[in-house]
Structure 1
Amino acid sequence: MLAVDPLGCDLARGRASDIQVVRLEFPQRVTSSAAVRQVLVDLVRTARG
């Protein structure tokens, strides 16, 4: 995770010479680290089915 703000976070993968960055938009605005954690947990649960 490169950066996080109330609307989402930027994720990166790869090596220094070939980094891929994607934006993950949150389903709702978050205003605390606890809220970010909960949104990420919920997204993982949804992805896993």
Structure 2
Amino acid sequence: MRVGFGLEAAAKAREALTPAARAEGLDPQAVRGGMRWLLLLGKAFAAEGWTPPT
């Protein structure tokens, strides 16, 4: 699944990863900060013209 950047993308990622974080014994609140960082990094790469391999 490919989604853009923004609130909807962050919400979908958090929804998908929060149960996985709990299963691994991680703090689910940490998921939010980690996802924000990953989305910002992806946005920066996209702004530079980087595209994922297909």
- How high is the TM-score relative to the length of structure 1? 0.42
User: Larger relative CO (CA 8 A, sep 6+): 1 or 2?
Assistant: 2
Which has more helix, going by share of residues? 2
- How high is the TM-score relative to the length of structure 2? 0.39
